Structure 1
Amino acid sequence: MKQISKKSALLIGGFLALAGNGTFAAAAQPMSGEQIIQQQCTACHTKTGDASKPYSRISQQRKTPEGWQMTLHRMVSIHQAKISDAERKQVLKYLADTQGLAPAETAGLRYGLERDGNLVENNDPAYAEMCARCHSGARFGLQRRTRAEWDLLVQFHMGQIPTLELHSLARDRPWFELAMNEVAPKLAEDFPFETAAWKAWQAADKPTFAHAWTIAGYIPGKGDFDAVMQVRDQGDDRYALEIAGHYADGRPLSGSGQAITYTGYEWRAALTLDGMKLRQILAANEQGTQMTGRLFMAGANELGAEMVAQRAAKGDHAVTRVMPSHIRQGTRQEITLVGAGLQGTPELGEGVRVIKTLSAGTNRMRLLVEADKQAAVGLRDIRVGQIQVPAMLAVFDQVARVEVVPGESIARVGGNGMPVAKVKSAYRAVGYASGADGKPGTADDIRLGHMPATWTLKAFDETAEQDNDLKYAGTIDANGIFTPGDAGPNPERKMSTNNVGNLSVVGSVDDGGGQVSGEAHLLVTVQRFVRSSVQ
């Protein structure tokens, strides 16, 4: 069998169980994942004699699919494990299914799986200086280990990174002593190997995914979209996908792809939509009726956004998205409802009525609606037949403030003949109306949702102004996508430094009577040469 190459490993496993070209390997596997472990791994990982934890080191840990992917990559690239690409996929599937994390155990940390690098963490102080100074809190929070294994992880760090105690925030304290005596016990308490949630999930009936799904999301540079995703079972938790739908402006959208599920709820898909290669990392709820997560460009993880997939099988009823999610007093506009089992004339709340149904289907309704001039400012529930969803449509008088998201972000120089590509950053403007107190920026502000904006940049501070960062660090286009400058020294800059910079991203929304603007902070920095499956 063909041995996995180092290049393949560095590509993060060809996106887990997907082969490097985005398709599944067709060859049938003669051995199960457990049989491969027994044959290929027990030269180093001895049998323990404990049926509940049969293999040393392996059986005392639980991880996400991406976590196990990183482990397998390390076994191949550092320890020269002789395991083929096809065998690696089998082992990954087996470990993720039998030693994964329950849905509740990934809550609040899924950004680490979804490749969302522009999120400000709020880690426990005990971890912030000892662990999260090198990698995200999601990196260790998405693992479960026995107490002995958490101790061994500290030992692994010292053996693998012998200069660790010389790093900043380590050389000024007894790092190893603190890690062993304080941090490892806390990790074992906060992220234990045995949990009630995992035991319950192992015993639960797992959902099937071979249905029609209504999906809705946003693609940077293209806009909001909704579509029907037909999912066809190919066996062994693998699925073929066919997608057809529309962007918010009416342009058609279509594509196809393939997916695999791990641990009964972890959905990973590679698809092509209108020539764009994309990835889905989603998690299903325990009932298997809805999946949420992120859709992003295959070659640029930073260009993506949240998406939702609603099962649209017989008997399913839901409204998952309203586009746009706001209407101004005294105006008419088109809105689109997305969901499943949509039947009848929608009720949009006091002061808002449907003038005309432009198109109607069970998964998508396009409506012409009107808000009264005196309609109260605030959020409205939406009712469609037996479906009622709270606070999905906002009525507003004016845009009181604009929030640019992400509020803190990083872009990275690249290209220019260098092997590492530029890392871009994408922005959206979220409008807010003032609440009952009439003051913007207070707790009762009403979120209106994403709004069209014009985009500009400015220097973040006096130093950035003096260094002329605005000229060299990059540009932003009409879609809110920032492209950083080229990698390498720039002889035009002071001391021929590179094109890093410190910028503010300004998004301005036309409120009819003027522009309302918001700002976000953008740090343009150097390349990242090491990429991991869990950010």
Structure 2
Amino acid sequence: MAGKLSGLTRLWATGNQGVSRAGAAILAIRAPIRRAMVLGLFSTSVVVAQVAKPEADSLASLNETETGIPVTDSLTIAKCGSCHAADAKGNLSRISWSRTTPEGWSQAIKRMVRLNGLSITAEESRAIVKYLSGAHGLAPEEAKPVMYMPERRTIDETNIPNETVRTSCAACHGFGQALSWRRSKVEWKLLQNLHVALYSQADAQYRRPSVEPGDQPPPGQTPPAKPRTAGEVGLEYISKTAPLATPEWTAWRPRLRPAKLAGKWLVSATVPGQGRYVGEMTIAAGKDEDSFVTSVALQPVAGGAPIIRQGSGIVYGGYSWRGRSTAGAPKDAGPADAARDTRETMWFSPDQKMATGRWFWGEYHEFGYDVTLTRATGAPTIFSVVPDALKAGTKAVQLRILGDSLPSGLKPSDIDVGAGVTVTQVLSSSPTEVVVAVDVATDATAGRRDVGIAGATMEKALPVYRKVDYLKVTPETSVSRLGGVKFAKGYQQYDAIGFDNGPDAKPYTSDDLAIGPVDVDWSVEEFLAVTYDDDKKFVGTLSQAALFTPSTEGPNPARRFGRNNYGDVWVVATAKAEKDKFGKPLTAKSYLVVTVPAYQRWDQPEVGQ
């Protein structure tokens, strides 16, 4: 399981770090790499004219043949056109053959400032990012799979096709950073050249031989004189997977329009370790057509004081929200307090009827709400159901159906909660909540039920399960960072989620049913990696609320060899009531690496409000 960490996306370090002094010295003495850097930063046509044969022949292959996207914004032309030459069609070199997210364009502008001396104000930069994120952005369907990048999630990336592509494209940053761009074939090659020019390790990574089965000779056979390299495999994959022209972009360009989001939205949110929240978000028009101000009222499902948030946001490309909100957390609030100020990243559906995303906070963005918004249209709407799941064979369970504009005078027959679940009584009803009593048949099939009232339906809203067959600790792999002296701590929050094996009665298959949080005891166990390292004693502490607090950074005289308090351990959940077939409590583990602080971090706060 420890090996899985190689795929973890460290979202706080995915920016281009620029060229170091040592790198600058290398560039000054390495002519071939210097030429590659020029190719990476300027128009290829200019460079081709300045080099002799036979280099000109190979460089000529880097002339664009694909149709570019003309740049029409006057500010972008004024600020970028002095270096990025325009052609007769209004294309600017490099820019017209690239598309990406707001964060991607912000990163590119910062690189132009650092390396090429671009003079630009913060306001001008925001305006250019806003224009490029629409006219040269991603279609909603292209952006959604990589939303975990701007949402600042640390995850195991499962979208890397093989080890060779990982080596060439995801050894230094999340693979989502590459997949957040769409480029022409020439642009992808130029980007590879730029990596070689700026980062000394890139050239070595690209030159490694491909380890894919088709590139390895059968046993006993002589390998080819020039085997395919990781750089070639990576370039081939990314050029085919993320081309400039796609069906999604072709369909989206004529649909581009300002987001019309003003109105009431229904909020369903989950905070790891703290449970579910429900409420309303009011979005009002801001200073321009893509800016908004917000007011949010959230109520913990488990009970407690409401959280009132005020904020603002901006929408890029008609669907991609970046914002901030504050809830006035008390001064003595803990790091995991849900009333903390948050950054907001959300993806709005093209029809502007729903949104998903994350509102996050923390020095490493480790805390956050997982949020779903549903637009309140005045028609009956269901957006959440409480509790998380129903167990087969239970009777007279109180079920809360939350929504908007729900009808009055309801009878049990007006409410449908799926096969095997019978509504026996309507306990109360209002336009925003209907409470009913339900019986669940003993032989009810495990699975998610649709919930419907008067034409309003929430699909797959209510899991029905037979028993808790196994647990998972989420996240299954994680990182925490030492701190508290000169650097901030990087915390980690856990949940223990119960699962039913599903219709096939087999664990860890696609039909398994997530039931929700299970009541457990929490503990930490040694991960046996190094003899006598005793990481468990030094890395930090885990509360019974499943919040891991790391130890302080710096050498520890009490530890063998005076080492830092880094290490790796198991985070263990032991169920209080649920048992396996042998009568023993169900358990689950998560692998945790506790490491040193991130001494440098790159962020893009200007993309949000």
Q: Structure 1-normalised TM-score?
A: 0.84
What is the letter of the counterpart of residue 439 of structure 2? A
CA distance in 2, matches of 1:268, 1:411: 26
CA distance in 2, matches of 1:175, 1:66: 38
1:486 shift after superposition = 1.5
**Structure 2 residue aligned with 1:18:** none
What is the letter of the counterpart of residue 244 of structure 2? F
CA distance in 2, matches of 1:90, 1:176: 46
**Structure 2 residue aligned with 1:490:** 556
What is the letter of the counterpart of residue 507 of structure 1? A
Q: 2:278 aligns with which of 212, 217, 226?
A: 226
CA distance in 1, matches of 2:253, 2:226: 37
Distance 1:227 1:287, change over 3 A: same
Please list, as runs of the form range in 1=range in 2, the aligned pairs for 1:327-346 lying within 5 A after superposition: 327-328=390-391, 329-343=393-407, 344=410, 346=415
CA distance in 2, matches of 1:116, 1:283: 14
**Native 8 Å contact 2:256 2:317 kept in 1:** no
Deviations 1:348-396 (A, max 9, x none): 233343645455334xx25253434736252333112212334322333
1:80 shift after superposition = 3.3
**Structure 2 residue aligned with 1:239:** 292
Aligned length: 497
**Structure 2 residue aligned with 1:209:** 261
**Native 8 Å contact 1:33 1:87 kept in 2:** no
CA distance in 1, matches of 2:169, 2:307: 43
Please list, as runs of the form range in 1=range in 2, the aligned pairs for 1:130-529 lying within 5 A after superposition: 130-166=168-204, 178=229, 181-204=232-255, 206=257, 207-220=259-272, 222-234=274-286, 235-251=288-304, 252-275=306-329, 276-297=340-361, 299-315=363-379, 317-328=380-391, 329-343=393-407, 344=410, 346-349=415-418, 350-353=420-423, 355-358=425-428, 360-362=430-432, 365=433, 367=435, 369-372=437-440, 374=442, 376=444, 378-379=446-447, 380-418=449-487, 421-436=488-503, 440-441=507-508, 444-461=511-528, 463=530, 466-511=532-577, 515-529=585-599
- SS in structure 1 at match of 2:96: helix
Distance 1:529 1:61, change over 3 A: farther
CA distance in 2, matches of 1:95, 1:309: 26
1:332 shift after superposition = 4.8
1:334 shift after superposition = 4.4
Deviations 1:86-143 (A, max 9, x none): 1111111011011000011123222122111133434022421111111111110110
1:205 shift after superposition = 5.5
CA distance in 1, matches of 2:199, 2:276: 44
Deviations 1:168-201 (A, max 9, x none): x856789998466443343222211122211211
**Native 8 Å contact 2:521 2:573 kept in 1:** yes
Q: 1:90 aligns with which of 127, 142, 145?
A: 127
- SS in structure 2 at match of 1:47: coil
- SS in structure 2 at match of 1:388: strand
**Native 8 Å contact 2:165 2:233 kept in 1:** no
1:230 shift after superposition = 0.4
**Native 8 Å contact 2:427 2:435 kept in 1:** yes
- SS in structure 1 at match of 2:341: strand
1:166 shift after superposition = 4.3
**Native 8 Å contact 2:390 2:440 kept in 1:** no
1:36 shift after superposition = 2.5
Distance 1:182 1:390, change over 3 A: closer
1:505 shift after superposition = 1.4
What is the letter of the counterpart of residue 236 of structure 1? E
What is the letter of the counterpart of residue 166 of structure 2? A
1:45 equivalent in alignment to 2:84: yes
Distance 1:219 1:448, change over 3 A: closer
List runs of 5+ in structure 1 lacking aligned partners.
Answer: 1-9, 13-31
What is the letter of the counterpart of residue 127 of structure 1? V
Distance 1:172 1:489, change over 3 A: farther
What is the letter of the counterpart of residue 286 of structure 1? P
Q: Structure 2-normalised TM-score?
A: 0.75
1:243 shift after superposition = 0.9
**Native 8 Å contact 1:354 1:369 kept in 2:** yes
1:78 shift after superposition = 3.7
**Native 8 Å contact 1:456 1:507 kept in 2:** yes
- SS in structure 2 at match of 1:130: helix
1:448 shift after superposition = 1.2
**Native 8 Å contact 1:490 1:498 kept in 2:** yes
Distance 1:351 1:219, change over 3 A: closer
CA distance in 1, matches of 2:227, 2:296: 52
CA distance in 2, matches of 1:94, 1:523: 41
**Native 8 Å contact 2:168 2:231 kept in 1:** no
What is the letter of the counterpart of residue 112 of structure 1? M
Distance 1:442 1:177, change over 3 A: closer
Identity among equivalent pairs (%): 27
CA distance in 1, matches of 2:265, 2:248: 27
- SS in structure 2 at match of 1:209: coil
CA distance in 1, matches of 2:403, 2:152: 26
1:401 shift after superposition = 1.3
Please report the RMSD computed on the Cα atoms of aligned residues, expressed in angstroms.
3.0
What is the letter of the counterpart of residue 586 of structure 2? V
**Native 8 Å contact 1:33 1:92 kept in 2:** no
CA distance in 2, matches of 1:473, 1:394: 38
**Structure 1 residue aligned with 2:156:** 119
Deviations 1:53-101 (A, max 9, x none): 2x22222210001111211222233433211111111111011011000
Please list, as runs of the form range in 1=range in 2, the aligned pairs for 1:15-34 lying within 5 A after superposition: 34=73
**Structure 2 residue aligned with 1:35:** 74
What is the letter of the counterpart of residue 494 of structure 2? Y
